[in-house]
Amino acid sequence: MATALDTLLSPVILFFVLGALAALARSDLAIPEAIAKGMSLYLMAAIGLKGGVNVAANGVTTSMLAAIAVGVALSFAIPFFAAALLRGFGRLDPVNAGAVAAHYGSVSVVTFATATDVLTGAGLAPAGYMVAVLALMETPAILSGLAIARRSGTAASNGHGSELWREVLLNGSVVLLIGSFLIGLVAGKQGFEPIRPVFDTAFRGVLCLFLLDMGLIAARRLAESRVLTARLAVLAIVLPVVNGAVGVVLGSLIGLDTGTAAALGVLAGSASYIAVPAAMRLALPQADPGLYLAMSLGISFPFNVTLGIPFVTFLAEALA
């Protein structure tokens, strides 16, 4: 419980809260888009590099392979569970249910980066190989979401198959995460030392500023939403809680340490708001972007960053 409370008072979380409060107060505080993009690229490169260096030092283990298998399975399965709730309780049509469900089966790099930082600060650093799990969990959920939407026969093919596969397999976040992970794997600890001040020492400061920007964006997106119902708002909180708990329990069952099990829970409970929206715009243009972005970015992301990470941390410690 103490670790979970410390998480809530972490500077990275407080910067996110500052951004959200500033947006709700209609402050003109803003971070230029080019700088925000640069910070996003930096964070993904730093996460990948440090993960690769860690795996280079410890080698491929059975825990790593088990975590990858569970993570990929969750990414495939979560959209079907989410879609059932979205269609039943949320009263969505099949196309929008499939599009939204894909977001909840995929992952949020920023949520993972935040969780890694706060867990490390609490002495519960996740294993470096979780970066590989993160990258591999991006795509399966997209395929599941498309299967859900098209099972009804109402989601017609739009002739963009090649563009979709390119977006799914070669989107920037996946390429940068996997590429930097491989660079870290090849360079190892010795090769990483000369660039450590840039990619390790400065990481937390950049993350604070990036979360300030995310707080501004999330609050403004939520305020602008005109399609979000109370039922869908409830599901935007229930899904991260249930999925995160399942991730932690499965992580504990396969023998992951506390921090790594918590990180798996964070991945399972997070919702994509970058890679999946881009894929859905190509594959399911009929789906409402305002709906899936309001849920994933406007509600689930703030919830995960402020309360979801402490929740999975507490659960992982309780199961340890």
Confidence at 2, pLDDT banded by 50, 70, 90: low
Of 110-119, 152-161, 225-234, 250-259, the range with the highest mean pLDDT is 250-259
SS (H, E, C) 23-44: HHCCCCCCCCHHHHHHHHHHHH
Single-letter amino acid, residue 227: V
Q: Kindly list the distances between the CA atom of residue 103 and the CA atoms of 3, 38, 98, 120, 294, in Å, as whole numbers in the listed order.
A: 28, 23, 9, 27, 11
Q: For residues 264 and 251, is the Cβ–Cβ distance under 8 A?
A: yes
Q: Which of 77-81, 85-89, 151-155, 165-169 has the lowest mean pLDDT?
A: 151-155
User: 3-class secondary structure for the chain?
Assistant: CHHHHHHHCCHHHHHHHHHHHHHHCCCCCCCCHHHHHHHHHHHHHHHHHHHHHHHHHHCCCHHHHHHHHHHHHHHHHHHHHHHHHHHHCCCCCHHHHHHHHHHHHCCCHHHHHHHHHHHHHCCCCCCCCHHHHHHHCCCHHHHHHHHHHHHCCCCCCCCCHHHHHHHHHHCHHHHHHHHHHHHHHHHHHHHHHHHHHHHHHCHHHHHHHHHHHHHHHHHHHHHHCCCCCHHHHHHHHHHHHHHHHHHHHHHHHCCCCHHHHHHHHHHHHCCCCCHHHHHHHHHCCCCCHHHHHHHHHHHHHHHHHHHHHHHHHHHHHHHC
Its sign, for the CA torsion 106, 3, 218, 300, is positive
Residue 156 has what pLDDT? Answer: 45
Domain contains 1: no
- The answer to whether residue 75 sits within a structural domain is yes
The residue ranking higher by pLDDT, 165 or 200, is 200
**Domain of 248: which CATH number?**
1.20.1530.20
Does any domain span residue 6? no
Domain count for the chain: 1
Structure token pair of residue 291: 């709906």
10 lies in some domain:
no
pTM of the model: 0.84
For 127-150, the pLDDT digits (tens) are 989 988 998 898 889 889 988 887
Residue 45 has pLDDT above 70, yes or no: yes
Distance separating alpha carbons of residues 300 and 104, to the nearest angstrom: 9
Give the residue with greater pLDDT, 280 vs 35.
35
Distance CA 163, CA 182 (A): 26
Rounded distance between C-alpha atoms, residue 48 and residue 227, angstroms: 36
What's the CA gap between 252 and 250, in Å, rounded?
5
More confident residue, 8 or 156: 8
Tokens of 313: 């941390």
pLDDT for position 25 = 93
Q: Which domain holds residue 78?
A: 31-319
The span from the CA of 320 to the CA of 316, in Å, is: 6
| CA atoms in the 13 A half-sphere facing the CB of 11 | 10
**214's tokens:** 């995310």
Within-domain flag for 39: yes
Question: Taking 90 as the threshold, does the pLDDT of residue 48 lie above it?
Answer: no
Mean of pLDDT values over 39-67? 89
Does residue 16 belong to any structural domain of this protein?
A: no
Residue 57 falls inside a structural domain = yes
Nearest to 4 by CA among 122, 116, 108, 109: 122
- Establish if 126 belongs to a structural domain: yes
Mean pLDDT is lowest, of 5-9, 225-229, 248-252, for: 5-9
Greatest mean pLDDT among 76-80, 273-277, 305-309 lies in 76-80
194 CB-contact burial (10 Å; exposed 0-12 / middle 13-18 / buried 19+) = exposed
State the number of CA atoms in the 13 A half-sphere of 251 facing the CB: 35
